[in-house]
Amino acid sequence: MARAIFKDWFVDFGPTRAKMECSKPYLAPDLWSLFPDRLDGDGKPEGWDTKPLRFLGETNIGGFWGLDEPQAADDIQFLCLRGVDLEHLRTTGACPEAPIRWGKRSAIEKRPVTDHDVVIAGSGAGPCGRPLWLSSQVTEIGDLPVSYSNFVKRITCPSSAKACFLDRHLHEMRLSGEIWSYVNGTSVPNLNDQGLLDGKIVVVPPDNLLSAFVDIACPMARLFPLLSKAPRAHDQTPLQIAAGDQLFNEQTRHDGLARAWVVRQEKSQWLARQH
C-alpha cells in the first residue's frame, strides 16, 4: 500500500491531475486540500520544490563491526545491523541472523539511531543499495542498543517524515535498478553515497503532506511490534517481528550465491539499458 500511495502522490501526482480534470476527490477532504490545484511549467505540483536527495538528509558517522567478546570493563553488547539484515527486515519483517556484538559504550553512544535515520547497505553484491528507515519500532527493539556495521551507511534527516520519504525514494531506485548508477566496482560493489545525495533530484512536497503520507501510507512500520526474544545458540537472541502474516507475505529472498547472481543480473540489465 505504501508503494502505491507514494507513486500516486509523489511520482504521478494523481490528486493534482485529478483536480485539473475536475474528477471526483478520492481522498478525505483534509487530505485532498493539501494537494495543489494545478501543475506548474515543469510538470510538478505548483509550489512543490525540486531538490537533490541531500536536501532530505546527510551522511552521518560511519558504523562499526565491534568485537566478538568484551575486552574492557565498559564494553557493552549491541545489535549490529548489516546490509542483509536491512533487506530481511523490509521483506519479511524479521532479522533473525542479526549479530549481537560487543563495543565500547562511547562508540555506540556516538551512533545513536533514531526515526530520523535511514540506513543503506554500502557494499556487497547482494545488499548494496538496499535502504531501511529506522522507525521507532526498529530502534527500540529488545533490550540492547541498535547500531549498524561499517558496511552500512547512515543518512540523518531533519524529521522522521523526511526519513520515511527518503527511504521510499531509495527503495524505488533499488527496485528499478537506478541505484546502480551510484555504485562503483564490479566484484565488490560500493555505494557512492555522496554522488547519490548530490546527483539524484526529486520533487519534494511540503512538510505537512509528508507527515500525512507517513501517518496514512506507512502503517506497517508503526505496526512493527517490539521484537520478541527466545534462546538460541551461544546465548544469543533471535529477533522476530510478530505481525500478521497478511502484512508480511513476501517470500524470503534467495541468499548466498543465488542472491549475488540475481543482483549481478539486475546490474547488468540496468547498465545495458543505459547504452
Q: Which tops the pLDDT comparison, 238 or 214?
A: 214
Instruction: For residue 258, tell me if it sits in a domain.
Output: yes
Torsion of CA 112, 113, 119, 122, to 10 degrees: 20
Grid cell at residue 92: 519479511
**Which one-letter DSSP state was computed for residue 275?**
-
Same domain, 86 and 189: yes
Range of the structural domain that residue 260 is part of:
54-205+218-273
Closest among 217, 95, 109, 99 to 167, alpha carbons compared? 217
Same domain, 243 and 123: yes
Same domain, 27 and 143: no
For cell 503532506, what's the residue? 209
Same domain, 16 and 110: no
Same domain, 30 and 93: no
Grid cell at residue 161: 517524515
Q: Mean of the per-residue pLDDT values for the chain? A: 82
**Per-residue model confidence as pLDDT tens digits over 224-267:** 433 333 333 333 333 333 333 333 333 333 333 334 444 444 45
Same domain, 153 and 34: no
Mean of pLDDT values over 134-148: 81
Using CA atoms, how far apart are residues 202 and 225, in angstroms rounded to an integer?
32
Question: Is the whole-model pTM more than 0.85?
Answer: no
Instruction: For residue 211, tell me if it sits in a domain.
Output: no
Q: How many CB atoms lie within 10 A of CB 29?
A: 7
Same domain, 90 and 25: no
Contact predicate 115/136, CB 8 Å? yes
Same domain, 20 and 93: no
**Which one-letter DSSP state was computed for residue 115?**
T
